[in-house]
Structure 1
Amino acid sequence: MRARHLFSLALLLSLAFGASCPFSALSAQAQTVGDAGNVVGPDRIRSTWGKALNPSHQVPANGFKAIYIDRRNPRTIVFQENVDSIAINYAWNDFHNIESPNFAAYWVGRLNYSAPTTKKISVSQGWAKSRIFIDGEMVFDDADETSFVHNFTPGEHVIEVEYINNWHTTEYKVTIEDNAKSWTKAEVAEFFRTNGDRSAHVYYAGIYESGAKGMSLKLSPPQEGKPVILWLSSYAAVDWRIASEDNVLAVVLSSHAPGSTVSGTKVNNLIHLKEWEGTYTPTPDCSCVQGLFHCEGQGDLNAIADDLRKITGLELSGYTVTYKAEALSMQPYDQGTRRQIEEGKAANTAKQKACTSDPNPDFDKLMLRR
């Protein structure tokens, strides 16, 4: 059923974009934010969507031109703007009244390299599909999340991205970054054994996803004049923007979806963790429904603190955990915090015992109850 639906949608868009109506039929009512950008030759825009939605071949000198459409009326541009990254994040119809299951978008931008360069391109997407073109060559066409490497020659390159969403939430991000090594926890522990600073403060930040449209997240660690180690964990891809004047000795970056990045404050050592693990709740949020015990998340902040102590050799100084946010600040992690978390775990254990002692009743046994 899903395959037939996607095939029909692809056919509809193909017919719409391939129709012989002139480009001037595109809506002139679309709102625009940002300058018009620079014009490139028509041979530089190769994707079908680019030829239809960007007939004047405008490509900004920096960042990306983003064009948003409702796929039920694909030749009408709902909104367009210049953005600094290829990313979109919203639910239902909270973005220019485009219902999320009908959202589609096109991005185009320039990439410049002075020497032969290998980059890692990460695609983070939910129930959706996308295509990526570099200099007219299709390098990605899939509905999965993945990372791949691409070799760039010296000079300017044009990247185009087409995206079709198929869910009530829209989460999409393309990240182009250096092809950095992924570390195991054992390798991270060895790094801190040989490069650690006993005066450093360790902070943990865990989140499910960013609440910002561009999937960015501002993180403000305490300013204490001490070296800082940040352990950042997310389920979705997040652009962590760190605001700190202290010496950030290291950032350990962990996410389930590919493409999380770090910017803002200078980071002396950026470590990409190979295995994602973390929590965005101090303890799981559990409930009982007719004998079925269910917990949202597998969080245990105390277990995280113990693990970080083994890896860094330092106690956890502070933390912040939440499901979704646009900005985060730390709170202290101390013995009082540990005690509250243990009490929460004990409460969940008692709740589970009570839940399973009164299970979903059998039809024949229900009337035997007194």
Structure 2
Amino acid sequence: MVVYFLKYLFASRRNFHPFLAGVILFLAAIFGTKGNAAENPPLNGFQASYFDRTIRNGPKITEVVPNIAIKFGSRGGPGHIAPAQFAASWVGRLSFDAPVTKEILVSLSWSKVRIRIDGDIVYEGTNSRRFTHAFSAGEHLVEVFYINNWHTVEFKVTFQDPVKTYSDSELFARLKLLDPQADEIVYVGLYESDTPDTGVSVQLADKGPDSGKGQLLWLDSYEAIDWTVAGGQGLRAVIVASYAPGSRVLNLSANIPVLYAEKGIGVHSKLQVKCRCVGTAFRCNNKKGPGALAETMMARTGARVVAYGAAYSAGSVNPEPFDDVVRMALERQKEEVARAKDRCSKRINPDFDTLFDNN
């Protein structure tokens, strides 16, 4: 009972007083099961151990997790360990009935990782990486060691069957093979997940496609995300694109293909575009806003955008209609930006005669 209560406390990410957080970390180390992890690693799961790397032989917090993924910000993660002092390990066993080749995708930022399989180092480095590994039939010991060196933590290791990534032309041709072809698309774009396990849920509207032909879903991100999709009707295919390797969809039925695009769209913001006149330049943030989304999606998929959801980070997304109201707002915004740019140009690049005659 004590173990479960302590796990609840650190998993809740509550803002405890630093002294109390230290007490929780210490008690979790006393009552935890870290000794059993090394002796009997879980099968098709991982025993995770989190600790402050600045405390030699210090206490560890342990838990059993289905996947290797962790993310938290400056407020601290398990046991309120500060990100810049955070280190972790994951130990588990993978079992296969027959020889198989798996793709291993590593996503990390300012940190370093070492991966051992059956005692051999298969990767060690500071960069995100995608590679394959051949497993024989039977059980295999997997060990992952992680040291963070940044003010936030974002780390993910994915084991999956090798997948093909599609260029723009290959993706367009592959979508033409769908029967019937989808002529509508829902776009979801995030920079990153804001959940500790890098997961994001997408809730599609119950209404099916207007034409009855079917819909596509495009899932776009910078960081690697574990997507789950619920609702919707007439979904023909899901397209996944991310800069960091390791994004995937966890819960789709086998008859809905998941296609991986080589290039993402990069729209991670809503309608608001903020511009300002700075020095000798006119600058706008959110350059990759939804303004050109409809044209881009039509060019890359042959489908028109009917809904979209975009944000810097989120744990769940409910796409909103991309209708005439949105399109009119985008047109007005485009005109306002053009007028502001014209005013800026006249202010930062005045005429000689006009300027000096008045001074």
Q: TM-score, normalised by structure 1?
A: 0.79
Is residue 127–residue 166 contact of structure 1 (8 Å, CA) maintained in 2?
A: yes
CA–CA separation in structure 2 for the residues paired with 1:92 and 1:37: 26
- Output the CA distance in 2 between the equivalents of 1:299 and 1:230: 19
Selected match of 1:343 from 308, 329, 332: 332
The 8 Å contact of residues 120 and 149 in structure 1, kept in 2 or not, is answered as: yes
CA–CA distance in structure 1, aligned partners of residues 134 and 121 of structure 2:
14
Moved more, 239-248 or 61-70: 239-248
Name the CA distance, whole Å, in 2 between partners of 1:209 and 1:357: 39
Residues 102-113 of structure 1 aligned to structure 2 (within 5 Å):
102-113=85-96
Cα distance change on mapping 1:288 and 1:221 into 2, 3 Å: same
> Which has the higher mean CA deviation after the structures are superposed, 118-127 or 334-343?
334-343
Question: 1:248 touches 1:266 (CA, 8 Å); kept in 2?
Answer: no
| Whole-Å separation in 1 of the counterparts to 2:105 and 2:39 | 25
Aligned to 2:251: 264
Q: Are 1:149 and 2:146 an aligned pair?
A: no
Q: Tell me the SS of whatever aligns to 2:51.
A: strand
Task: Tell me, yes or no, if the aligned pair for 1:283 and 1:345 is still in contact at 8 Å.
Answer: no
* Structure 1 CA distance for aligned equivalents of residues 203 and 312 of structure 2: 17
Report if the CA contact (8 A) 1:251-1:271 is conserved.
yes
Amino acid of the residue matched to residue 28 of structure 2?
A: Q
Whether the aligned pair in 1 keeps the contact of 2:306 and 2:322 (CA below 8 Å) is yes
CA shift for structure 1 position 297: 3.6
Paired residue type of 1:277: I
Cα distance change on mapping 1:285 and 1:198 into 2, 3 Å = same
1:204–1:71 Cα change, 3 Å: same
- Using the aligned pairs only, state the percent identity: 31
1:282 deviates by 3.8
Which sections of structure 2, spanning at least 5 residues, go unmatched?
A: 1-23, 350-356
Structure 1: which 5+ residue stretches go unaligned? 1-26, 41-55, 361-367
- The separation in 2 between residues aligned to 1:369 and 1:207, in whole angstroms, is 50
CA RMSD of aligned residues (A): 3.0
Residue of structure 1 equivalent to 2:267: 279
Q: CA deviation at 1:270?
A: 0.8
The 5-angstrom pairing of residues 208-227 of structure 1 reads 208-226=191-209, 227=214
Deviations 1:114-137 (A, max 9, x none): 111111111111111111111111
Residues 221-279 of structure 1, C-alpha deviation per residue, up to 9 Å, x if partnerless? 11124543101100111101111363431011000111101012315111011123331
Q: Distance in 2 between matches of 1:209 and 1:149?
A: 25
Distance 1:113 1:37 in 2: 26
In the aligned structure 2, how far is the partner of 1:35 from the partner of 1:116?
A: 35
1:76 aligns with 2:65: no
Match of 1:323 among 283, 289, 312: 312
Contact 2:32 2:62 in 1 (8 A): no
Are 2:282 and 1:300 equivalent residues in the alignment? no
The residue number in structure 1 matching 2:171 is 188
1:38 to 1:91, Cα distance in 2 relative to 1, 3 A: closer
Q: Structure 1 residue aligned with 2:121, among 131, 138, 141?
A: 138
Letter of the 2:257 partner, please give it. N
Question: 1:31 is matched with which residue?
Answer: 28
State whether residues 193 and 199 of structure 2, in contact with CA within 8 Å, keep that contact through their aligned partners in structure 1: yes
Cα distance per residue 1:181-235 (max 9 Å; x no partner): 1101111111222225356642110011001001000001111245431011001
- For residues 327-348 of structure 1, give each alpha carbon's deviation from its aligned partner in whole angstroms, at most 9, with x where no partner exists: 0011111122112122223333
Post-superposition offset of 1:39: 5.4
Cα distance, 1:321 vs structure 2: 0.6
Please give the alpha-carbon distance, in whole angstroms, between the structure 2 residues aligned to 1:359 and 1:172: 45
Decide whether aligned partners of structure 1 residues 146 and 369 sit closer, same or farther in structure 2, where only a CA change above 3 A counts.
farther
Contact 2:273 2:289 in 1 (8 A): no
Per the alignment, residue 252 of structure 1 pairs with 239
Whether the aligned pair in 1 keeps the contact of 2:182 and 2:216 (CA below 8 Å) is no
Distance 1:244 1:138, change over 3 A: same
Contact 1:278 1:304 in 2 (8 A): no
Give the Cα–Cα distance (whole angstroms) in 2 for the partners of residues 73 and 265 of structure 1. Answer: 43
Confirm whether residue 63 of structure 1 aligns to residue 63 of structure 2.
Answer: no
Paired residue secondary structure (1:224): coil
| 1:236 alignment partner in structure 2 | 223
Q: Which residue of 2 aligns with 1:49?
A: none
Name the CA distance, whole Å, in 1 between partners of 2:58 and 2:36.
21
Equivalent residue, structure 2, for 1:92: 74
Farther off after superposition, 123-132 or 286-295: 286-295
Could you tell me how far apart the structure 1 residues matched to 2:314 and 2:194 are?
Answer: 5
Q: Is the contact between residue 90 and residue 143 of structure 2 (CA under 8 Å) also seen in structure 1?
A: yes
